[in-house]
Amino acid sequence: MSSDSNDRRLMILGWLFHLGGLITLVVGACAYQFVVSGLITRQQTDNEAEISQLETLLESEGDVGREFSRLQQELARLEASAEAARQRIPETPQESEFLAQVSAAAKEKGLAIKNFTRGSVTVMGTHSQLQIRLTGEGDYASICGFFDEMSTFSRVATVSQMSLTVPSESEIYPLDMTMTLYFGARAPQGGNRG
């Protein structure tokens, strides 16, 4: 009987080892499944978030592209405008040519120019300026016509100061004004994009 009993014990022990191995295998498989499943779920969540971000980028790409095109057109328009302004500003003061235009406009409109005085040159960061003082006289219509004619000049110039005296007994108004001529246009320091 002892041999039967030993066989039985060995058989039960064998089954217990098999059962222990099976339990270890099941627990290991469950743990592996839990860990791998967690990693896969986490990776899937990360992938879904990235997909959402990429979809958002794709949706906004059209808007960005349109905005980029609009900004390029605006830049081209501004550069053309700046170039047109630079064309109206000579490299040197050329005050004699400008004064010839002013004299012709004054003569055509009936304004009598009495005196031109060249002022000082001021060098700015993007251009230079020359002040010119002009005195003259004329009736109201000739003064208005003169300024209207000056507005058609291609040269950039501004009236920086003006006084018009109202006479007590005459229709002729004394005019004293200072004009600013612009010349030597240049790009501001640090303004290059190239």
Give 115-162 pLDDT, tens digit per residue: 999 999 999 988 899 999 999 999 999 999 999 999 999 888 899 999
Which residue range forms the structural domain that includes residue 99?
Answer: 95-183
Domain for residue 52, yes or no? yes
pLDDT at 190: 60
Which tens digits make up the pLDDT trace of 69-118?
898 999 999 888 888 877 888 999 999 999 999 999 999 999 999 999 99
Co-location of 122 and 150 in the same domain: yes
Co-location of 59 and 125 in the same domain: no
pLDDT at 194: 43
Domain for residue 190, yes or no? no
Domain for residue 192, yes or no? no
Domain for residue 113, yes or no? yes
- Closest Cα partner for 95 from 157, 6, 141, 15? 157
Total domains in the fold of the chain: 2
Domain for residue 36, yes or no? yes
Residues written for the chain? 194
